[in-house]
Structure 1
Amino acid sequence: MRKNMKQSISTEIQNEAQRVAKATQRPGQTKEQTKLIAQGIEKGIAEYKKQQKAKAREADKAKKQKIKQKSEQKDVITATNPNKAPANQKLAWGLLGLSWSLFGLYFLLQ
C-alpha cells in the first residue's frame, strides 16, 4: 500500500543534496536548475534508503526462517527418538541390579 502523503525528507538529506548539486553545478546553470538537481538527488537518496530497508527486511526474514528450520529439525529429531531415555534407564537399572546381586553372591560365598 502506498501512502497518499508525501514523505518528508530530513533537513540533513536536503542539505547533503544541495551540497552535491552545488558541487556539480556548471557555469551558466540557473538556481532553478540546481534546485531541480538537488530534488533529484533527494529522490535518489530516498530510493536508496528504501532499497536498503527492503534488503534488511529480506535478510531478517531469511535469518528468522533459518532459525525456525533449525528448531523444527531439533523437534523432529526429539520426536523420532523419544524411547532412548527409557532404554538408557532400563540399562542403568539392570546394571545396578546385576552389581548388587553379584555383591550379594560375593558376600554369601565368603
Structure 2
Amino acid sequence: MNQISAETKTEAMKVAKATQKPGQTKEQTKLIAQGIEKGIAEYKKQQKSKSRQKDKHRKQQLKSKQKQELDKQEVQSDTPTTVTSSKTSLPWILLALSWIAFAVYLSMV
C-alpha cells in the first residue's frame, strides 16, 4: 500500500483541526484526518494518472507529426530529382539557340 507523506499528514491534521466541532474527541479528529489523508492520496493518484495520459497523448501527437514531416521530406526529395533533369536541359537549349542566332546574323552580314 502507498505510504502517505508526512507533509500530507500534517496538512490533513491542520484541516481536521480547523473543522473540529466542539466536544469532538482527539480520536474522532484523528479519524477525520485519516479520511482527509486518504482523499488527498486518491486525488494525487488521479492527477498523476491524468498527467501520464496527457503525456502519452502528447508523445503520440509528436510522433505522428514527425512521421508526417518525414513523409513530406521524402516526397519533396523525390520531386526535385525530376525537376532538376528538366532544368539542366534548358541551358543547353538556350546555348544552341544563341549559336543558331549568331550563325544567322553572320550569314546576313
**Given the two structures, how large is their TM-score scaled by the length of structure 1?**
0.80
Give the aligned length: 105
In terms of fraction of residues, the more helix-rich structure is: 2
Name the structure 2 match of 1:24.
Answer: 19
Which of 74, 86, 94 aligns to 1:91? It is: 86
| Per-residue deviation, 1:79 | 4.9
Name the structure 2 match of 1:3.
Answer: none
Code of the aligned partner of 2:90: L
Code of the aligned partner of 2:84: Q
Gaps of 5+ in 2: none
SS at match of 2:62: helix
| Per-residue deviation, 1:77 | 4.2
User: Separation in 1 of the partners of 2:3 and 2:77?
Assistant: 58
User: Separation in 2 of the partners of 1:38 and 1:83?
Assistant: 67
SS at match of 2:43: helix
SS at match of 1:8: coil
Deviation readout 1:25-68 (Å, 9 max, x if unpaired): 01111101101111111111111111001001101111111122
Identity %: 48
